[in-house]
Amino acid sequence: MNNIEHKNYNDKSYALGATGSAIRELFEFGKKRKQEIGADNVFDYSLGNPSIPCPDIVNETLINLIKNTDATLLHGYTSGPGDMNVRNSIASYLNKTYGCSEKGSLIYMTCGAAASLTVTFNALIASDSDEVIVFAPFFPEYRVFIEKANGIVKVVKSREEDLKIDFEKFEGTINENTKAVLINSPNNPSGVVYTEEDIKNLSAILYKKEKEYNHPIFLISDEPYRELVYNMDKVPFVTNYYDDAIVCYSFSKSISLPGERIGYILVSNKCNDAINVYKAICGSGRSLGFVCAPALFQYMIPSILGYTSNIDEYKKNKDYLYNELKKIGYDAIYPDGAFYMFVKALEDSASNFSERAKKHELLIVPSDSFGFTGYVRLSYCVSFDMIKRSIPAFKALFDEYKNK
Amino acid sequence: MNNIEHKNYNDKSYALGATGSAIRELFEFGKKRKQEIGADNVFDYSLGNPSIPCPDIVNETLINLIKNTDATLLHGYTSGPGDMNVRNSIASYLNKTYGCSEKGSLIYMTCGAAASLTVTFNALIASDSDEVIVFAPFFPEYRVFIEKANGIVKVVKSREEDLKIDFEKFEGTINENTKAVLINSPNNPSGVVYTEEDIKNLSAILYKKEKEYNHPIFLISDEPYRELVYNMDKVPFVTNYYDDAIVCYSFSKSISLPGERIGYILVSNKCNDAINVYKAICGSGRSLGFVCAPALFQYMIPSILGYTSNIDEYKKNKDYLYNELKKIGYDAIYPDGAFYMFVKALEDSASNFSERAKKHELLIVPSDSFGFTGYVRLSYCVSFDMIKRSIPAFKALFDEYKNK
């Protein structure tokens, strides 16, 4: 006899579908509000949707492929892990750019960053005691993806002063169940970028702990913002510092193609048991329903590697916004990358602060959604004009607190 | 203390990645063999990769969209369930074509048929006693998808004579744990198409059992071959016959876009608790890493609804192949749809038969992979010329058995 109460659908899936994310809710509120009072009167800093168009070469390449490729080939299945020429061209590009020695045969093409992560987690997590360490503040979907793959999320809070890794806390959190450590630099939501020294320190701890527990601890590097850095020539590439590294990439952000869902997973050539880890990734993708990454966009990749959208515009936005907020009196973490800024809320509760900001038509995401208290995230991938027009609202909000 | 042996990666994911499918293996063998003896000398009936190009309107629409749409909009995120205009246009098209009354608000755009299925299974399966009934022969990935979603696969063997549903067996397999029944008409691997009467009989049993167990039993209809029918004007559309229906569609096959990964899930407007089932689908997609379906291909959909590739070519292939095989002396199930034919093996073991066929350069998939014994699947989405050239090989294979 079956004594389990029948459920018509999966509770967890329902809850995820019914609530949506805090970010999306704010965005939807903004859409409604814009209809009510006009788009120009709402200062929407809610979404990480690139505001700068992709470089012309993207659309030129797409049209060229459509016009000059046999349609059954162009739109046909690629192999599950992706077209081999495309994968080889990515490996060559990485090796040339970062001086690593990666292989196309260990690259798996995906439908974007989220897919890169879910495929990786479902490939690695092997028992329900497996833990994945994330550093707060972190992208809230990380928890959704890790828990769906039956993993346990262990949060290590970053240092309050600069949102870099608190290495002491980090080391204390690693145990024999630590399957992987997830980093995201340049960071969403803070814009913080790890330096070479940061990655070296992180790697030293991981190597020590791998030895102690006698099994690999994977470093998963989520890098959709890799090229969006303003303070250095390029970010340190993790496979040059740590062997058991898996890079999750997406072409969404730096080349402004978030809707097209194209990215990849790279298993480092030096990773322990790399070929078998790669096979687990292939099998994981298969079981989640990713037959292959979109073909037309795969074939586009070799022509656009090394290109980005004109990121000087984000830099201009960032510098202007940061300086104006500082002038008013706000405290913010200076962002070195991505297109996010972490600004200190003017009261303990970031949620309350975000609510009060709404009354000034400012849509800013409370940091609680990112596992961190007391801040708001501003996505400055918006028009420069909107930023300029929003400054008086930030001023009014600040004065409201000051005159309380 | 942790007494579970540490595993570096997930066993099940690894096994799925290491083995691949029997179909893919045969295809890879064919690729190698073609290099050895020339492509014209291998008769490759292994893969369901459409051989007829998409209609011109597909590429025209893509180019038009690329040239005339703001790039940040065109390539930007759509909402998670897909662009609302696209979803409404699909609902209108279905309502006009099949006389149903479905809603765009209950359509969820996906990355193709496999994603439609994995998202649906992960939305519905709520406990590890939940069962999904499939009819053999069936597409082998069904098992992969259902088991990954923690469901139990219950196989009901189709009637030997025509591969239609054995209703007595079917009814006997339903129990209080039956969460859903999965059908696939036109069918891969057999090409069999269910008639209106078949769907009515199926629905009557499901309604009776819903009453008996006092909970919904979902009918999931996997329809990538919906428009590929040769014996009727159009297939009976399941939501017209059964309320608790969920349609999983893909634009891969009938309009020849398998690599682009674009499809949808439709929750019938009449489905029990439809809005909440739909929310569970949205949450499931989110947790599996499907942020949105590829944007450019979503925007293309409204312009191509109702178009198919020139399916007369498949019909010509089918009739010629079927008649020639019958002339030789083979026994085959006459296919009414899709681009597959189920041919009786000339010995008990379909695998042995497929191996012996290989010696005649015939690549045909043994039915064991589809949960059915004694047949082989021929994918006739190939050039007519290849079919013509392959007939002597089929004859030689037949004679080899006859003269044994």
pLDDT digit string, tens, across residues B231-283: 888 999 999 999 999 999 999 999 999 999 999 999 999 999 999 999 999 99
Size of chain B in residues = 404
Q: What is the pLDDT of residue B4?
A: 58
B105-116 pLDDT, tens per residue? Answer: 999 999 999 999
Angstrom distance (rounded) from CA B394 to CA B399 = 9
Distance CA A178, CA A183 (A): 14
Q: At what angle do helices B274-288 and B113-124 cross, to 10 degrees?
A: 110
Cα of B299 to nearest chain A Cα, Å: 11
Flag whether pLDDT at A325 surpasses 50.
yes
The structural domains of chain B, with segments of one domain joined by +, span 11-54+310-402, 70-304
Mean pLDDT for the stretch of residues B41-62 = 94
| Chain B residues close to A66, C-beta within 8 Å | 59, 62-63
CATH number listed for the domain at residues A11-54+310-402? 3.90.1150.10
Selection from B236, B191, B226, B227 nearest residue B336 by Cα: B191
The B residues from 133 to 152 touching A (CB cutoff 8 Å) are 141, 144-145, 148
Give which of A264, A293, A281 is closest to A89, Cα–Cα. A264
Q: What Å distances lie between residue B331 and A239, B335, B362, CA to CA?
A: 57, 12, 17
What are the structure tokens assigned to B265, written together? 């899930």
Using CA atoms, how far apart are residues A329 and A402, in angstroms rounded to an integer? 10
A289/B114 Cβ within 8 A: yes
> Is B256–A72 a contact, with Cβ atoms under 8 angstroms apart?
yes
Query: Would you say residue B3 has pLDDT above 50?
Result: no
Interface predicted TM-score (ipTM) of this complex, two decimals: 0.95
CB atoms within 10 A of CB B191: 30
pLDDT of A48 reads 85
Name the pTM for this structure.
0.96
DSSP conformational letter for B244 = S
Q: What is the pLDDT of residues A376-395, one digit of tens each?
A: 999 999 999 999 999 999 99
CA-to-CA distance for A194 and A180, rounded, in angstroms? 18
DSSP helix/strand/coil, B365 = strand
Q: Hey, what CATH topology would domain B70-304 get?
A: Aspartate Aminotransferase; domain 2 (3.40.640)
Cβ–Cβ under 8 Å, residues B57 and B306:
no
Tens-place pLDDT, residues A124-173: 999 999 999 999 999 999 999 999 999 999 999 999 999 999 999 999 99
Chain A residues with CB under 8 Å of B290 CB are 111, 114-115
HEC string of chain A equals CCCCCCCCCCHHHHHHHHHCCHHHHHHHHHHHHHHHHCHHHCEECCCCCCCCCCCHHHHHHHHHHHHHCCHHHHCCCCCCCCCHHHHHHHHHHHHHHHCCCCCHHHEEEECCHHHHHHHHHHHHCCCCCCEEEEEECCCCHHHHHHHHCCCEEEEEECCCCCCCCCHHHHHHHCCCCEEEEEECCCCCCCCCCCCHHHHHHHHHHHHHHHHHHCCCCEEEEECCCCCCECCCCCCCCHHHCCCCEEEEEECCCCCCCHHHCCEEEEECCCCCCHHHHHHHHHHHHHHHCCCCCCHHHHHHHHHHCCCCCCCHHHHHHHHHHHHHHHHHCCCEECCCECCEEEEECCCCCHHHHHHHHHCCCEECEEHHHHCCCCEEEEECCCCHHHHHHHHHHHHHHHHHHHCC
Give the model's confidence band at A3: pLDDT under 50 very low, under 70 low, under 90 confident, else very high: very low
CB B44 within 8 Å of CB B29: no
Residues 251-280 of A with CB under 8 A from B: 256-261, 272-273, 276-280
- Kindly give the pairing relationship between strand A131-136 and strand A178-183: parallel
Q: How far apart are CA B99 and CA B357, in angstroms?
A: 46
B367: left (phi over 0), alpha (psi -120 to 50) or beta: alpha
Among residues 198-227 of chain B, which lie with CB inside 8 Å of chain A? 213, 215-216
Q: Choose the closest CB to B118 out of A72, A289, A295.
A: A289
- Is it the case that residue A1 has pLDDT exceeding 60? no
Quote the CA–CA distance of A175 and A173 in Å, as a whole number: 6
* A20: closest chain B residue by CA: B283
Residue A353 clears pLDDT 70, i.e. is over it: yes
Whether residue A231 lies within 8 A of chain B, CB to CB, comes out as no
pLDDT band (50, 70, 90) for residue A256: very high
Contact residues, chain B, for A67 at CB < 8 Å: 59, 63
* pLDDT at position A4: 59
CATH of A76-304, one of 1.10.10.60, 3.20.20.70, 3.40.640.10, 3.40.50.360: 3.40.640.10
Contact A16 B284 (CB under 8 A): yes
Measured distance CA(B99)–CA(B236) in Å, rounded:
10
Identify from B141, B291, B383 which residue to disrupt to test chain A contact, counting A C-beta atoms within 10 A and taking the largest count. B291
pLDDT digits (tens, 9 = 90+) for A46-82: 988 899 999 999 999 999 999 999 999 999 999 999 9
- Quote the Cα angle for A285-A288-A294, to 5°: 60
In this structure, are residues B174 and B132 in contact, taking their beta carbons and an 8 Å threshold?
no
- Which residues 341-380 of B have a C-beta within 8 angstroms of A? none
The band of A27, judged by pLDDT with boundaries at 50, 70 and 90, is confident
List chain B residues with CB under 8 Å of A53: 70-72
Intrachain domains B11-54+310-402 and B70-304 with the same fold: no
Task: Show residues of chain B in contact with A120, CB under 8 Å.
Answer: none
Dihedral (CA of B107, B109, B110, B114) sign? positive
Cβ pair A13:B63 closer than 8 A: no
